[in-house]
Structure 1
Amino acid sequence: MWPVVWTAMRTYAPYVTFPVALVVGAVGYHLEWFIRGTPTTKQEERGIHEMREERRLAELAGRDSTEVISLKERVEFTPRAVLERNRPAEKS
């Protein structure tokens, strides 16, 4: 009897799992919407990418973009290597 049950479950699995997954997804979607609620402010309606871009633009607005650090002066330009063998010797 068990081989017949396992064969039937293997045969009809896609027809059973899709509706179950659909119901679980719909319940999860509506539960999350219920917990979060609707966005109330413009800040909440914007995406994370948009907020990040605005924050980066605000940081750049206060700086002079012509003043950059030379690559020779920048110590952390070369990545840290094992035993720091590839790092150039610092000049004293």
Structure 2
Amino acid sequence: MWPVFWMSMRTYAPYITFPVAFVVGAVGYHLEGFIRGDTTPKPGEEKSIVELREERKLEEGAGRDSTQVLSLKEKLEFTPRAALDRNRPEKS
């Protein structure tokens, strides 16, 4: 009788062990989260990088007057000489 039992266990082991391992793993996962007090945000609840950038830009621009901007000439003064001053005539 024992050889038949061991032969059946060897043959059907994947069909028995997978559901048992799945249940034990799921219970352990949820039990660990319950004990630890899982406070990490879920993947679906995190803000995307684009949303974080938009919020940061809104916060930065909240204290500034949006009508006071630099002219194009003033912006060109602060650019590196090597890139933009190659074909421009020298200033006097």
| TM-based fold match above 0.5 | no
TM-score by length of 2: 0.40
Answer with 1 or 2: which has the greater Rg. 2
Query: Larger RCO: Structure 1 or Structure 2 (Cα < 8 Å, ≥ 6 residues apart)?
Result: 1
